[in-house]
Chain A
Amino acid sequence: MNFRTFAAFVGPSVFMMLLFIAFPLVSVFQQSFYVTQPIYETVEKETCTPGFVTQTCVTEQVSQPKLDEHGEIITQTQYVGLQSYRNVLEPERAWRAISDGSWNVLSTINFWKALRFTLTFTLITLPLVVGCGLGIAILINNAARSIRGPVIFISLLPFIITPVIGVLSINWLFRGDGILTAMMEWWLNRDIALFAQAWTIEVLMMIYRVWHVAPFAAIIFYAGLQTVNQDSLESAVIDGATRWQRLKYIVIPHLMPLIIFVSMIHLMDSYRVFEEIVGFSSQGYVISLQWLTFDYLTPDQAGNRSISRASANSMLTMIGVVILLILPLRRTWRDHKGGH
């Protein structure tokens, strides 16, 4: 296939990715150094309250946004350098908190709070997803052929459901005196409020995420289990290997590429954790990096969006993505070179 045909086939797709992914990235990078603000002017304003005999009048200096001839607020865009990054990171306070070793102070800064949660969430759910996925795959593989279809159907439900709705459905089971909270209260014989402190919310979020992603892992591992070499399993039995040894020395090495694939996808996706925060409405206790950007982008009560801060936060989030991807990309590059 010559270059011209190749370009004709791939062109539209590449064009869309450039226009809607690469270009926004560049513009986010640029925005993070600029701030757009309304221009304020200071006006002397006399306010009078009616009184007996004479009015009481007060003159005070009021700063208000300047309006143009159409009555719209005039804004100006200004180069501020790293100021937005400083606003997001608050390096002095963060540094003081770290040198004091006081975690509570550090967690009052949104960015560090979000980063802490995002990383814990990603790292704790990863082994759980791989483990549960593997377990479910082995269970399905053990089951009679006739029930595998229905079981896979049921397993797909948590994976296919709209994430926000999935979170809400878990939320409704626990919120207030939801049936599962009531059951736990009856069992432990004490009062439980799951939404009153951060750690219980985090645990619920992790439970949701594992429930949501484990089926995906399970189906991929199940497909991998179909191709395990039966002969080597049999010879292992004859050599006296226990079930556990067979799993450890034959099945898991065979599934290794799939385990790496699932871990990669899961790392990418759970680093973007977002729907959990919305569905549990936990912003008072727990926030994530992507939610923080979302929050900066949502108009506040005055209708302003802090685009500049959102951009700075996005760029900082991107650093994490790059770190996440370095290793697998190096591997792909080596495979590509080896393949030629």
Chain B
Amino acid sequence: MSSRALRQPLSLRLTSNIFLALWCLIAAFPIFWIVVMSFKSPVDAFDSNALNVIFGPATLGVGKGLSLLDIILGVAVIWATIVIAKKTLPPMVKSYSKPGQEWFGWVIGVLVVLVGFLVVFFVVLPAVLSVLNPWFGPLGRDVLGLTTEHYKTVWIDRGFSNNFKNSLIVTTGVVTVSLTVGTLAGYGLARSGSTLAFWILIVALVFRALPHSVLVAGYLPVFINSAEWLAPILGDNAPTLYGKPFAVIAVLVAINQPFTIWMLRSFFQNIPAELDEAARVDGCSHFQAFRRVIMPVMWPGVITTGLFSFLLAYNDFLVTALLLDAQNQTMVPAIVGMFNRETTTTDQVVAVAAAVSITAPLIFLVLIFQRQIVSGLTAGAVKG
């Protein structure tokens, strides 16, 4: 690139790009495929012919499908939304929000765009198209089988929204608590070069390697019998910790803590120590220095670490499956239950739709926070 000596011959560049395209295909294909499957009738979704899965003749047969016109207008709406979000939204947020409170403007702006998109895409567009389709002859005829009934089954009939709510509670709790506790510890560890700090980090590293099932084996008997041994302290209304979301939050925070403090420590080490020393010279205590000088500049690192805490809590299967009872079940154990229990293909496609529902937020997360995730991965590696 920069120098002539390192320039590569065309054939090499071509081969390299072909392999890169192949990798992208491998990386995205399974995810793309479950998205496609989730919109088809069971016969199509599990057809051994790939083309049948994509075009869905059986789904078309029962009258569920999209015409060319539907596809064109749908893509247009999505494209318009992306353009608005990228080009129009930032200046509007800047001009309407007070300086210093721009994040609030962003929240409102994103919400407005999101709601607008949902209304146009799912309410206005189908109404308009049902009028337009008969007028356009061949353009208006259904060509691509597509049905959203599995999503309706999952979210409305199977009560997946309840699992979603539980996941939301657990992840929010884990992210908030583990960041609060971890930020303080990470700062303390980064600024202290003592042997004790070193040993805490080493022990944390050992804890990170522990299989989670080992820890759960330790919690289970204690949690199940907790009403008994908590009774002397809390009296008769001592809670049974088993099955309670807050107990799972505490457990996940602790499991996540070793990783969190390592990562935040490496971020705090990148903030020059002169900053808080200057504040100390001006008469601040350590806590005041932390609050007034470090807190305003620490957010990039904290957001990145928060993303990884979110992933841990959101993706966890083992801890939530063993420690939560049926009515507090989160999404991932719920879907494993669906997948293992049911054998008809209809039920399998419903499980696929549930899987896509779980994955969609993650894809948006990468879309928005790609830079932070990459920087988080590399920060841990360079220091670790």
A residues at B contact (CB < 8 Å): 1, 3, 5-6, 8-10, 12-14, 16-17, 19-21, 23-28, 31, 36, 135-136, 138-140, 142-143, 149, 151-158, 160-166, 168-170, 172-173, 176-179, 181-183, 211, 215-216, 219-220, 223-224, 230, 233-234, 237-238, 243, 258, 261-262, 268, 271-272, 274-275, 278-279, 281, 289-290, 293-294, 296-298, 305, 307, 310-311, 314, 317-318, 321, 324-325, 329, 332-333, 336
Assuming the A-B contacts A140-B20, A297-B322, are A164 and B182 also in contact, with contact meaning beta carbons closer than 8 angstroms in the complex? no
- Asked whether any CB of chain A lies closer than 8 Å to the CB of B229, the reply is no
B215 to A154, Cβ gap below 8 A? Answer: no
How far does the Cβ of B31 sit from chain A's closest Cβ, in whole Å?
6
> B281-317: which residues lie under 8 A (CB-CB) from chain A?
286-287, 311, 314-315, 317
> B61-87: which residues lie under 8 A (CB-CB) from chain A?
none
| Stretch among B120-128, B143-151, B357-365 lining the A interface | B357-365
Given contacts A140-B20, A168-B34, A293-B217, 20 further A-B contacts (CB under 8 A): A10-B188, A10-B200, A16-B257, A17-B203, A20-B219, A25-B210, A25-B214, A136-B20, A156-B374, A160-B311, A165-B332, A168-B355, A179-B47, A182-B48, A211-B27, A234-B5, A275-B317, A294-B213, A294-B318, A297-B217
Chain B CB within 10 Å — which of A162, A272, A311 has the most? A162
B24 to A268, Cβ gap below 8 A? Answer: no
Closest to A150 in B: B24
A27 to B222, Cβ gap below 8 A? Answer: yes
B378 to A13, Cβ gap below 8 A? Answer: no
Describe B's contact surface by its main secondary structure: helix
- Asked whether any CB of chain A lies closer than 8 Å to the CB of B175, the reply is no
Assuming the A-B contacts A5-B286, A152-B370, A211-B26, are A162 and B48 also in contact, with contact meaning beta carbons closer than 8 angstroms in the complex? no
How far does the Cβ of B370 sit from chain A's closest Cβ, in whole Å?
6
Chain A CB within 10 Å — which of B8, B365, B378 has the most? B378
25 CB contacts below 8 A, A to B, read A1-B188, A8-B188, A13-B181, A13-B184, A20-B215, A20-B219, A20-B253, A25-B210, A25-B218, A136-B20, A155-B23, A164-B315, A170-B30, A179-B47, A211-B26, A216-B377, A268-B209, A275-B317, A278-B336, A281-B340, A297-B220, A310-B213, A317-B211, A321-B211, A329-B202
Closest to A223 in B: B378
How far does the Cβ of A292 sit from chain B's closest Cβ, in whole Å?
8
A16 to B253, Cβ gap below 8 A? Answer: yes
Enumerate chain B residues within 8 angstroms of A3, measured Cβ to Cβ. 194
How far does the Cβ of A314 sit from chain B's closest Cβ, in whole Å?
4
Q: In whole angstroms, what is the CA distance A140 to B17 when docked?
A: 9
Q: Quick one: which of B8, B214, B384 contacts A142, CB cutoff 8 A? A: B8
B381 to A13, Cβ gap below 8 A? Answer: no
A336 to B198, Cβ gap below 8 A? Answer: yes
How far does the Cβ of A129 sit from chain B's closest Cβ, in whole Å?
14
Sorted nearest first, the 3 A-B pairs with minimum C-beta distance are A24-B218, A9-B188, A20-B254
Assuming the A-B contacts A16-B250, A321-B209, are A23 and B218 also in contact, with contact meaning beta carbons closer than 8 angstroms in the complex? yes
A157 to B20, Cβ gap below 8 A? Answer: no
B254 to A139, Cβ gap below 8 A? Answer: no
A230 to B2, Cβ gap below 8 A? Answer: yes
Q: In whole angstroms, what is the CA distance A24 to B196 when docked?
A: 23
Q: In whole angstroms, what is the CA distance A236 to B24 when docked?
A: 32
- Asked whether any CB of chain A lies closer than 8 Å to the CB of B366, the reply is yes
A154 to B28, Cβ gap below 8 A? Answer: yes
> B340-384: which residues lie under 8 A (CB-CB) from chain A?
340, 348, 351-352, 355, 358-359, 362-363, 365-367, 370, 373-374, 377-378, 381-382, 384
How far does the Cβ of B266 sit from chain A's closest Cβ, in whole Å?
12
Q: In whole angstroms, what is the CA distance A25 to B184 when docked?
A: 25
- Asked whether any CB of chain A lies closer than 8 Å to the CB of B98, the reply is no
Q: Quick one: which of A16, A23, A166 contacts B181, CB cutoff 8 A? A: A16
Closest to A4 in B: B286
Q: In whole angstroms, what is the CA distance A103 to B61 when docked?
A: 54
A230 to B254, Cβ gap below 8 A? Answer: no
Closest to B354 in A: A165
A151 to B24, Cβ gap below 8 A? Answer: yes
Assuming the A-B contacts A27-B222, A140-B20, A162-B332, are A173 and B206 also in contact, with contact meaning beta carbons closer than 8 angstroms in the complex? no
- Asked whether any CB of chain A lies closer than 8 Å to the CB of B185, the reply is yes
B20 to A143, Cβ gap below 8 A? Answer: yes
A10 to B184, Cβ gap below 8 A? Answer: yes
- Asked whether any CB of chain A lies closer than 8 Å to the CB of B251, the reply is yes
Enumerate chain B residues within 8 angstroms of A165, measured Cβ to Cβ. 332, 335, 355, 358-359
Q: Quick one: which of B211, B317, B366 contacts A314, CB cutoff 8 A? A: B211
Provide the B317-345 mask, 1 if CB < 8 A to any CB of A, else 0: 11000100000000010011001100000
Q: In whole angstroms, what is the CA distance A279 to B12 when docked?
A: 39
How far does the Cβ of B306 sit from chain A's closest Cβ, in whole Å?
14
Closest to A16 in B: B254
B49 to A182, Cβ gap below 8 A? Answer: yes
Assuming the A-B contacts A20-B255, A157-B366, A234-B6, are A28 and B214 also in contact, with contact meaning beta carbons closer than 8 angstroms in the complex? yes
> B148-203: which residues lie under 8 A (CB-CB) from chain A?
181-182, 184-185, 187-189, 191-192, 194, 196-198, 200, 202-203
Q: In whole angstroms, what is the CA distance A3 to B195 when docked?
A: 12
Assuming the A-B contacts A289-B211, A293-B211, A297-B213, are A154 and B355 also in contact, with contact meaning beta carbons closer than 8 angstroms in the complex? no
Provide the B236-247 mask, 1 if CB < 8 A to any CB of A, else 0: 000000000000
Enumerate chain B residues within 8 angstroms of A9, measured Cβ to Cβ. 184-185, 187-188, 286
How far does the Cβ of B270 sit from chain A's closest Cβ, in whole Å?
15
Chain A CB within 10 Å — which of B27, B196, B204 has the most? B27
Enumerate chain B residues within 8 angstroms of A176, measured Cβ to Cβ. 46
Q: In whole angstroms, what is the CA distance A31 to B282 when docked?
A: 54
A139 to B218, Cβ gap below 8 A? Answer: no
A169 to B253, Cβ gap below 8 A? Answer: no
A14 to B185, Cβ gap below 8 A? Answer: yes
Enumerate chain B residues within 8 angstroms of A274, measured Cβ to Cβ. 211, 213, 317-318
A17 to B257, Cβ gap below 8 A? Answer: yes
B218 to A168, Cβ gap below 8 A? Answer: no
Enumerate chain B residues within 8 angstroms of A162, measured Cβ to Cβ. 314-315, 317, 332, 358-359, 362
